[in-house]
Structure 1
């Protein structure tokens, strides 16, 4: 459910629950299906020419190409356009060019970037547990777990391929599992970039596969701490809302698509209230513990937003950029979401493990500020 902070000023006392309930399970009109282009990505020096499909009418150029070329991101399309590798009707276009359908489009070189390769980087790591089979890391907020696609030439360092958890792991450990491929050695599961806390790393393929099976069968107990906007009235609640990709804003997930839609998967989160905080200047907050049974993309953030209580700092899902009124405002450049505890049976030794990670200093300080209504100087 949308946060009240997303409503226009003057209307934030109005409840948004009726509108949310009225649209739950109602599918938005499906976007037009864009025909896939068959482009030979091996021909580095060739020019790929094609005609924009009629279904492209009304779409931006970058939007159309990102949908028409398999496995290419919109950011990559924009980079090709910026580098002058795209022409429309013989002219260099802007990414925001609105198409009518039928335009002659040319792309010079291979649209897809060459694959990135992870490399060791001397980045400090907090290791909570380690043996010959696995390691458990306390990941800081702001660190990406692994790189995505990039456009670096072989042997070159792409900044998007640097500073990741994988880079640090390759420096600290002699051996990591290869089940996830060259770009994700050792990575069994992920945490969002702006989420901190516990993550497991596999050192060998056997451990990796067994951990993967344990995640799939929900044999690990994962507990998070989050601070959300507003006051949760119930002491505990179980959220069983399926999650799928938002068809309009593709960087977001949503609970508003019907459960039988393509790509929508069941998700279960158990929320327990730890503390309710009222700050006269900053408003109401609730500190919660969240235990998840499933591990969907953005699951906790999406489920809490669906309740109308977005995670503090999570502007993607409706949290305000600033809290309070100028000149005394607070802000958080990360999500107030921390993977605090992980309990499981070791897949090789069968030993019971329960690993905990304390709240980072930044989150403790933010929490202290809202508890005491302390205002920045």
Structure 2
């Protein structure tokens, strides 16, 4: 065990069989070894700081019909909403007063929230909050649209690849969605100059160890600035409503592996992790994560942005989320950092 984990900590390339061994031998001792190494590596760059991002889930309309997602277009039970620009700007104002210096605008691929509207929104946020980072999570767009978003003032873009294996991708998505298109979008975003985030669901339906190894190898090659992973959690109005959820243990193991693979990456302890375990986000940080994303969306719509069932923090006001997370982070010996928290440059 120690030879492989030592090799990983030294950022030496692991062979497929070595990654496979780590994933197939996920014992408490192995997780403890990897998490200790991951914390040490994270501390060398970030100290005991955890970056905080203000999440604004501005629309749950989506043109896509991904088989695992609660806001898929064919879910007729979803209570759809779309925040107006003034409502979104109000979220930014509240967040700024609470100390947030990164806003994450996340939505489904909403065809009626146009690129022109998004450009105007980005410009207004950039004009009003010059010291803040703007992160977008809006799915697949043409390269020219990404370029326009970047020129308007957006800094970061989150686009999970979900799985790097073609056959697995097709089991999770309708046939009109293609893995090669998603990978091309990620490459475009990097070339344009965004700080880019990708990631995958842990324990998604039909996922194999080989799929996870492919994910790790893809991420190592892409070398993103941000990596978002979280456990798959089923939603009651999807084809995979009866599927088994991903586990805390496998997610924590993978967070540690990713931290050691890419020491400077920005890795969130996700809401999904906190949903499957009451201390999931704290455990994620202790495994090597260094970002948390409290929700700035209006409480009236929180429960409707339901990618999966039983999402936490849907009833908390933004200030409550901020205070609660700060206490939780301090309780494990870390501190919230309120600056932008950009990817560290060499």
Q: TM-score, normalised by structure 1?
A: 0.25
- Structure having the higher strand fraction is 1
Q: Which has the higher contact order (CA 8 A, sep 6+)?
A: 2
Q: Which has the higher helix share?
A: 2
**Larger radius of gyration, structure 1 or 2?**
1
- Relative to the length of structure 2, the TM-score reads 0.26
